[in-house]
Chain A
Amino acid sequence: MKGFAHSYPRAHINTDEIIPARYLNMDQEKDLAEHAMEDLDPDFVKNVRKGDIIVAGEDFGCGSSREHAVWALRGAGVRAVIADTFARIFYRNCINNGFLAVECRNISGKIQTGDELEIDVKDGVIRNLTQNEKYTFLPIPEFAQEIIDAGGLLNYIARKVD
């Protein structure tokens, strides 16, 4: 999977920055998408293209449990988030939505906005096609991969219930 990077090398980017609470009276992806990352980068929605990848520092997605954060990003076209580390509930929400979240320590400083990245989930490798570099990450746990492959937790459960 390939995409262009939006780099936010800061730690503790929180769910209030990803989707502010003032928009939580909505829950449709397309409505939330209009405000993705608004309090961090007001130009994000203007700049993001379908298939892009966010790259961030430690503890990405900390704070509220609002899954709206994942929906806002996905609705805006973001295909995956790569971060040094993730906050727990955000990471869980990604898996549960079948949305790719890749934890790769110390990566945030190495990638520039606009770099073209290729994520190889099976081998645990991110290739930076622009800078011609390679970074490895710990493969996603098998159970999480099963949920992602099913297209999210509810599809996974619906299948089991069947």
Chain B
Amino acid sequence: MGSTITEKIMARHCGRDMVKPGELINAEIDVVMCHDVTTTPAIDMLAEKGLQKVAHPERVVIMPDHFVPNKDIKSAEMVAKIRRWAKEQGIEKFYELGRHGVCHALLPEQGHVQPGTTIVCGDSHTCTHGALGAFATGIGSTDLAATLATGELWFKVPETILFRLNGKLQKGVCSKDVILAIITRIGVDGALYKAMEFTGELIDDLSVEARMTICNMAIEAGGKSGIINPDQKTIDYVKARTAEPFEVFVSDADAEYAAVIEMDVTDLEPVVAFPHLPSNGRPVSQVGDIAIDQAYLGSCTNGRIEDLRIAAQIMRGHQVAPETRMIVVPATSDIWKQANHEGLLDIFMEAGATVSAPTCGACLGGHMGILAAGERCISSTNRNFVGRMGSPKAEVYLAGPGTVAASAVEGKIADPRKYL
């Protein structure tokens, strides 16, 4: 019996030939990513327990992103503390404001994600990096502290569900629609504790960025990780960003899966997930008349250059509807510069949208676009829980970047296909 890519990476990182689902292992961690919200408690815990020295400072990558540019005194102090700590520990990979970005967009963009590696971060959407064939999972601050102190972390080897995605997407349908459809089908705990492996013709067709959108939302189905076998596209993407050597693992043909789910995407329409769960997806044609107050384009899910290009293509020559506001947040500084260079930011500003600096910002109800009670937002983010983007009485509808742009133009949830 063969092994899945996840089992192979885990085995390699605990020094064994093979591991099986259910086994508890201690795995060596290659990349520890640290953002502002969950890192400060970890720093305090380490100090309190006398575990002062980070085991491998060269494996740590820091990027304050949630409340940057600092939203208030408290968040300013969190980042100041992380800055001091990074200096003390000799951690050099620190992405300061201006070179910064939303962690899950920045890490792969800057070449820190390589196939075959193990990556953790005190953030649930760390599963994003599985799109490049790494084992990546979200952890809490105590786990983060433990990893910083020892360079390893305990895991239960997860079972894997294989999603075989067949067919080709229609024009105007994107990878966000695919993952929303999957979560709608299996539910927000449909992959609880499991690795979600994505394969098939659709995955082969998608860009590395579009694959990241799929893996990003594995956690929204309860998954421990999302993962995709690396192919030539992955290898080219990574090699363009780093000279570090890496080892490529792929699942064996006879690997054992907890379940295999087949899906044909040929007839898939753009999907909109209604409040207050990502699993409340409906095809855009069945959404009805839903007026929106805000359209939000950004986040680690859909704030990449491809997403901005699709949105700009739809908005060119149009205006944001009079009673709607639109916020565009390129996910990283490099994406911001690229979008500027391509004239995309002009298109958004001419249409009456506003463009902010990279930040998590309103995605988690932090700042820069908070919703009032009774307001509705269509958002390219990944989570629409009660209170996620502000008032617990606001509503968030999740969709792909094209749907967000078309909805901004019409002032109500709209089908992007008629603009393409």
Q: Is the CB of A20 within 8 A of B387?
A: yes
Report which of B45, B139, B188, B388 forms a contact with A89, defined as CB distance below 8 A.
Answer: B139
Within 8 A of B (CB), among A50-96: 58-59, 62-68, 70, 85, 87-89, 92-93, 96
Report which of B74, B123, B388 forms a contact with A25, defined as CB distance below 8 A.
Answer: B74
Q: Is the CB of A88 within 8 A of B143?
A: no
Q: Is the CB of A39 within 8 A of B38?
A: no
Q: Is the CB of B44 within 8 A of A39?
A: no
Q: Is the CB of A25 within 8 A of B192?
A: no
Chain B interface residue count, CB cutoff 8 Å, equals 50
A96 CA to B311 CA, complexed, in Å: 42
Within 8 A of A (CB), among B98-155: 122-124, 126, 138-143, 145-146, 149-150, 154
Q: Closest A-chain residue to B66, C-beta based?
A: A24
Q: Is the CB of A97 within 8 A of B142?
A: yes
Q: Is the CB of A65 within 8 A of B123?
A: yes
Within 8 A of B (CB), among A15-58: 16-17, 20-22, 24-27, 39-40, 58
Q: How far is the CB of B144 from chain A (nearest CB, A)?
A: 9
Within 8 A of B (CB), among A107-162: 141, 143, 152-155, 157-158, 161
Contacts of B72 in A (CB 8 A): 25
Interface centre among A21, A66, A96 (most CB of B within 10 A): A21
A66 CA to B146 CA, complexed, in Å: 16
Report which of B142, B366, B383 forms a contact with A96, defined as CB distance below 8 A.
Answer: B142
Q: Is the CB of A66 within 8 A of B387?
A: no
Convert B76-117 into 0s and 1s, putting 1 for each residue whose CB lies closer than 8 angstroms to a CB of A: 001000000000000000000000000000000000000000
Q: How far is the CB of A111 from chain B (nearest CB, A)?
A: 21
Q: Closest B-chain residue to A25, C-beta based?
A: B74
Convert B34-46 into 0s and 1s, putting 1 for each residue whose CB lies closer than 8 angstroms to a CB of A: 0001101100111
Contacts of B192 in A (CB 8 A): 59, 85, 87-88
Using a CB–CB cutoff of 8 Å, the interface residues on chain B facing chain A are 24, 37-38, 40-41, 44-46, 49-51, 66-67, 71-72, 74-75, 78, 122-124, 126, 138-143, 145-146, 149-150, 154, 188-189, 192-193, 222, 224, 277, 364-366, 383, 385-388, 390, 392
> Closest 5 A-B residue pairs measured CB to CB?
A67-B140, A96-B142, A93-B140, A25-B74, A59-B189
Further 5 A-B residue pairs, CB within 8 A, beyond A16-B387, A63-B385 = A27-B40, A65-B126, A96-B142, A155-B49, A161-B149
